[in-house]
Structure 1
Amino acid sequence: MTLLTTSADTARGLLTGDRYRAELDDGRELYLNGERVADPARHPAFRPAVDALADLLDLQHDPAHRDLLTYADPGSGRRLARAYQPPRTLEELRLQRRSAEFWHANALGQHGRSPAFMASIAVGVYDFRHRLEASRPGFGAHAEAWYRYCAGNDLVLSHALGDPQIDRSADPVDDPDLALRVLEENDRGIVVRGAKQLTTLAPLAHEVLVYLSASFTQRRGEQFVVWFALPLNTPGLVTLCREPLGAEPWGHAHPLGARYDEQDAMLFFDDVLVPWDRVFLLRDADLARTGLARINAWSAYIGHVRYRERLRTLLATATLVAESIGVDGFRNVQEDLGRLASYAELTELFLDAAEARAAVTDGGLLAPGDTAASRVWSAEVADSAVDVLRRIGASGLLMQPTENDLAHPRLRPLLDRYMRGRGIGAERKSRLLRLAWELTGDGFGQRQHLYELVHRGDLARNRINLFKRYDQSDVRRRLEEFVAAPPPSRIAVPSVPREEHP
């Protein structure tokens, strides 16, 4: 299936799981371990993750969840995914949050690039359309048409921001391969060459939105400044996958990795033609810089919903592990669990604050308040959050029997005797401790943790930007007035004669 057009006439409405699987078989140039993958929905490395997404998409059609997960589009009358709804009121914004909470609870907070997350960025592009149109006539219309096409077809999206790690100390103007660039403009569109990393969910998505990360600077030539969107089966677009993290070597099940490994990929643009109706911004660095925060206002908010659920999953797992080995009454363990509980509670408060500070944009939508400080905080506590579960599980995370071990007649009596827990049998305890290991120690757990550290952008840069725009003017004025004059004269205290003792 080729999805190059953005015509409203092609709208197919809400995705079903089966339609999603079928649409991934679109002839894309996808590679894993040196081999081309014809259909990711059928490939054993991707099938469990595709099925997990398909199950979530099917929930949109369940009458019990229909009003939460979908809405009636006033323009077409069709039901569309709630995540694609442009919020204009506080109630609509909160419905987006509750819808995302439902999705992320079902995925235990492990889907960083859920369809809800990327749909909110498409909403941001739609909201920014007037500014794009002012930059170059037609670009705003392209952005709006693309948004409506994605929403009308309930597309699963990915986005690509980062440049390849070749030489971060060099300037792309001197070595053009360091960043994706525009080679030419012609009657049909623009031709781009280069690569983008790290494109999470690309192997399992319909389309990719390409724009610039916060690390791009004024030093870049205008040929590197571009926003566009393309189907992942576009000719010349090559997707290279990393090692899958849900494999089951030696009988160890990895249910989280299998179902929720979103895959991260390199995208290679080998002189790819981007049709004009897919180009949203070109050669306008100032607008690209302004637009980055604007189009991600809603995704940052939805990202906090996901992080809250991840923290809740870590807390509940840590509590169950502590109970299973009889340390839940220890003061130091309770303190650690309390710290993790405070993280989950603070994330909830950050979401409430974003809603309380929500404001209408110049595009007419209601955007959550700035989440910059809470995003910095989230990255800062990521190590501590995982470490709580790691410390409580300790060495038990390293050695747990497999399902085949539990089924072995020679081993089972030994496991029941020596690998049971407090009030919990060896079979249940082993599954619980393996879940904790998957959250903290194996390839999937380490990937998820690294994701928390890097996906919000460079932490040092974010701190610096936060410092630079934090308004200190009032306090500075009062302090400067305070230190401008000499302090008051010291009040003399009369001396008291020392009492003499014989």
Structure 2
Amino acid sequence: MIRTGAQYLAGLQDGREVYIDGARVRDVTSHPALRPIIAAKARVYDLHHAEASKAALTYTDDAGTHSLLLNPPLTREDWHRKWAGIDLVLRDLGGVVTRMGDETVGEMWSLADGRDVLAEIDPRFAENIDRHILASVHNDPFHVSANTDPKGDRSRPVEQRDPDMMIRVVKETDAGIILRGAKYETAAAYADQAFLKPTVGAWTNEKESQHAVGCIVKMGAKGVKHICRASFATQDAADHPIATRFDEVEALVVFDDVLIPWEDVFFYRHTRAAQHVRATLHRYSAFPFVLRLLYNADAMIGAAMWNARQTGLEKLQAVQEKLADLVCYREGIHAHLTASIALSETSPAGFQMPNQSLLYAGRVLACSQLPAMMHTARELIGGQICVTPDAAQFDGEAGPWLRKFYTLNDAWNADDRRKLLAYARDLLNSGYAGHRLAFAQFAQAPHFSHLAAVYRAFDFEGPLDFVRRAAGLSDRIHGAATAPPAKLGEAA
């Protein structure tokens, strides 16, 4: 069953414990800091039922009609349809939303790929993986990911820190395991459930650890507390047109003796299982993550080009060259995503897995070049994004002067000029813009992990063989110890 927006909103009325701005939130759906992004997610649910969009966002099987965005991909066409579906959703919303569920449910598919390995380690939980993948399709939850622990003083060994700095199992019961600790997560306060997995500890030869646990956690469960950061959504919409609609609020999610039923546990105690899951975690979810950065590149190009046209600078060679830099960045992301589908492979679970080397290389390009591309867009738009008065000034006593100096010509009046500059400032130069930049750099992993994923996914045998033959090296060195380790698909 695909839920409606109203059903999603009703599901959030579960007594969940959410705090923001120093106070307990009694109704997350109506709180001004959370209401805009919750409304956006509700709209996504409703688009699955709207006559004009449901064919592009759904598919039907013997069990009923389901969201295409949550469907495990079996063909290359499935990926193209997902891409088209996200395009439809984001165009309808009028902005980029990262945490919608489609970019986190892929972690469950990675679990299925490792099902046999996990079953060898601990056969108790393998069936839970299959059941939860079906449940994500049939029950249509808003599913997010609980990943990063506070960690504490990392100069100390894990055993010398406060043990709650990393999620841990404190007790086993007949009903399930009891968790303590905390995780940082985007959208947790208004999601239905999260896939909780460990940040890899400094494990060497340890076979077991209280921190090696992976499970599904209901976000409204007893003992789960969401301590949200301050929101950008409560600012004036005229001056902050992006943040007031699309700020995806993060929270420190505290687990205060939370019971996880055994049927929701995927692995427990075994460090090898935890490391295997972390090693393959993003093999699917990296695709929609990088796709969002493609749309962000489009926003930068659009804002910069509109500014060039407003100011009459579009024909200057220097302006065209900088616009071309933005285009090359955008098209590089597009090419990696397209090629990762075209050269996709069948995964151990039978899913269509994007080509890992191309996908991870695309993620490095999209994330590592984002700061430079944002600065290029700033240069193209100019200093007015940081000196333009707020919208209230244009409507106040100083309005006539501002309308005079912000009117460009008969085609571009002061109102359009102010709106473009406000949009560009929120995209590139505001507190929200800085937050989103930091999010892009760390949401799936820090940059060194992105590079490690590329190293592990790339097939070095082709270049090694080429040079061996070209240089006339001895056949006996083929496959020597200089070859990289076996591919895992993602860095630990």
- Asked if TM exceeds 0.5, the reply is yes
Within a 5 Å distance, the mapping from 1:37-48 to structure 2 comes to 37-48=25-36
1:298 maps to: 284
Q: Does 1:439 align with 2:427?
A: yes
| Aligned AA (1:362) | P
2:393 maps to: 405
Alpha-carbon distance in structure 1 between the residues aligned to 2:117 and 2:372? 41
Q: Does 1:459 align with 2:459?
A: no
1:165 CA drift (Å):
4.6
After TM superposition, the structure 1 stretch with the greater mean CA deviation from structure 2, 434-443 or 65-74, is 65-74
Q: Percent identity?
A: 25
After TM superposition, the score normalised by the length of structure 1 is 0.87
Alpha-carbon distance in structure 2 between the residues aligned to 1:202 and 1:189? 22
1:127 CA drift (Å):
4.6
Q: 1:248 aligns with which of 235, 246, 253?
A: 235
2:48 maps to: 60
Q: Which has the larger radius of gyration?
A: 1
Encode CA deviations 1:232-282: one digit per residue, 9 max, x unaligned: 111111110001012226x85323112111111111111211110110111
SS of residue paired to 2:383: helix
Within a 5 Å distance, the mapping from 1:109-124 to structure 2 comes to 110-124=96-110
2:305 maps to: 319
Q: Does 1:193 align with 2:177?
A: no
Q: 1:275 aligns with which of 261, 265, 277?
A: 261
Question: C-alpha root-mean-square deviation of aligned residues, in Å?
Answer: 2.3
1:10 maps to: none
1:143 maps to: 129
2:83 maps to: 97
The structure-2 alpha-carbon separation of the partners of 1:148 and 1:188, relative to structure 1 and needing over 3 Å to count, comes to same
After TM superposition, the structure 1 stretch with the greater mean CA deviation from structure 2, 441-450 or 170-179, is 170-179
Encode CA deviations 1:349-379: one digit per residue, 9 max, x unaligned: 1111111221112212111110222111211
Alpha-carbon distance in structure 2 between the residues aligned to 1:158 and 1:170? 30
- Tell me if structure 2 keeps the 8 A contact 1:110–1:448: no
The structure-2 alpha-carbon separation of the partners of 1:390 and 1:279, relative to structure 1 and needing over 3 Å to count, comes to same
- Tell me if structure 2 keeps the 8 A contact 1:118–1:299: yes
Q: Does 1:22 align with 2:10?
A: yes
After TM superposition, the structure 1 stretch with the greater mean CA deviation from structure 2, 237-246 or 415-424, is 415-424
- Tell me if structure 1 keeps the 8 A contact 2:336–2:361: no
Alpha-carbon distance in structure 2 between the residues aligned to 1:215 and 1:63? 49
- Tell me if structure 2 keeps the 8 A contact 1:108–1:309: no
SS of residue paired to 2:51: coil
| Aligned AA (2:96) | Q
- Tell me if structure 2 keeps the 8 A contact 1:49–1:262: yes
| Aligned AA (1:196) | K
The structure-2 alpha-carbon separation of the partners of 1:193 and 1:148, relative to structure 1 and needing over 3 Å to count, comes to same
- Tell me if structure 1 keeps the 8 A contact 2:128–2:266: yes
2:488 maps to: none
The structure-2 alpha-carbon separation of the partners of 1:246 and 1:163, relative to structure 1 and needing over 3 Å to count, comes to same
Alpha-carbon distance in structure 1 between the residues aligned to 2:60 and 2:436? 35
- Tell me if structure 1 keeps the 8 A contact 2:333–2:365: no
- Tell me if structure 1 keeps the 8 A contact 2:144–2:191: yes
- Tell me if structure 2 keeps the 8 A contact 1:84–1:123: no
Encode CA deviations 1:113-144: one digit per residue, 9 max, x unaligned: 22221233334444544443343233121122
For these two proteins, the number of residue pairs brought into alignment is 468
After TM superposition, the structure 1 stretch with the greater mean CA deviation from structure 2, 98-107 or 28-37, is 98-107
The structure-2 alpha-carbon separation of the partners of 1:73 and 1:21, relative to structure 1 and needing over 3 Å to count, comes to same
Alpha-carbon distance in structure 2 between the residues aligned to 1:351 and 1:293? 21
1:109 CA drift (Å):
5.5
Alpha-carbon distance in structure 2 between the residues aligned to 1:120 and 1:301? 9
1:378 maps to: 366
Alpha-carbon distance in structure 2 between the residues aligned to 1:108 and 1:172? 45
The structure-2 alpha-carbon separation of the partners of 1:51 and 1:140, relative to structure 1 and needing over 3 Å to count, comes to same
SS of residue paired to 2:227: strand
Q: Does 1:82 align with 2:75?
A: no
- Tell me if structure 1 keeps the 8 A contact 2:75–2:352: yes
Q: Does 1:71 align with 2:59?
A: yes
- Tell me if structure 2 keeps the 8 A contact 1:227–1:281: yes
Within a 5 Å distance, the mapping from 1:486-501 to structure 2 comes to none
Query: Unpaired runs of 5+ in structure 2?
Result: 475-492
- Tell me if structure 1 keeps the 8 A contact 2:2–2:67: yes
1:314 CA drift (Å):
1.1
1:337 CA drift (Å):
0.9
The structure-2 alpha-carbon separation of the partners of 1:96 and 1:127, relative to structure 1 and needing over 3 Å to count, comes to farther
Alpha-carbon distance in structure 2 between the residues aligned to 1:388 and 1:451? 19
Alpha-carbon distance in structure 2 between the residues aligned to 1:132 and 1:211? 14
1:189 CA drift (Å):
0.8
SS of residue paired to 2:285: helix
1:29 CA drift (Å):
0.8
The structure-2 alpha-carbon separation of the partners of 1:128 and 1:258, relative to structure 1 and needing over 3 Å to count, comes to farther
2:169 maps to: 182
2:211 maps to: 224
2:489 maps to: none
After TM superposition, the score normalised by the length of structure 2 is 0.89
1:149 CA drift (Å):
2.3
Alpha-carbon distance in structure 1 between the residues aligned to 2:52 and 2:457? 45
Encode CA deviations 1:454-499: one digit per residue, 9 max, x unaligned: 22312123324534664444544564673879xxxxxxxxxxxxxx
The structure-2 alpha-carbon separation of the partners of 1:226 and 1:233, relative to structure 1 and needing over 3 Å to count, comes to same
1:492 maps to: none
2:352 maps to: 366
Alpha-carbon distance in structure 1 between the residues aligned to 2:104 and 2:56? 18
Q: Does 1:208 align with 2:223?
A: no
- Tell me if structure 1 keeps the 8 A contact 2:225–2:255: yes
The structure-2 alpha-carbon separation of the partners of 1:216 and 1:112, relative to structure 1 and needing over 3 Å to count, comes to farther
| Aligned AA (1:418) | F
SS of residue paired to 1:234: coil
| Aligned AA (2:148) | G
- Tell me if structure 1 keeps the 8 A contact 2:76–2:341: yes
SS of residue paired to 2:256: strand
SS of residue paired to 1:225: strand
| Aligned AA (1:52) | A
Q: Does 1:419 align with 2:406?
A: yes
- Tell me if structure 2 keeps the 8 A contact 1:101–1:305: no
2:477 maps to: none
Alpha-carbon distance in structure 1 between the residues aligned to 2:282 and 2:464? 32
1:298 CA drift (Å):
1.8
The structure-2 alpha-carbon separation of the partners of 1:259 and 1:70, relative to structure 1 and needing over 3 Å to count, comes to same
After TM superposition, the structure 1 stretch with the greater mean CA deviation from structure 2, 234-243 or 144-153, is 144-153
The structure-2 alpha-carbon separation of the partners of 1:475 and 1:365, relative to structure 1 and needing over 3 Å to count, comes to closer
Alpha-carbon distance in structure 2 between the residues aligned to 1:213 and 1:312? 33
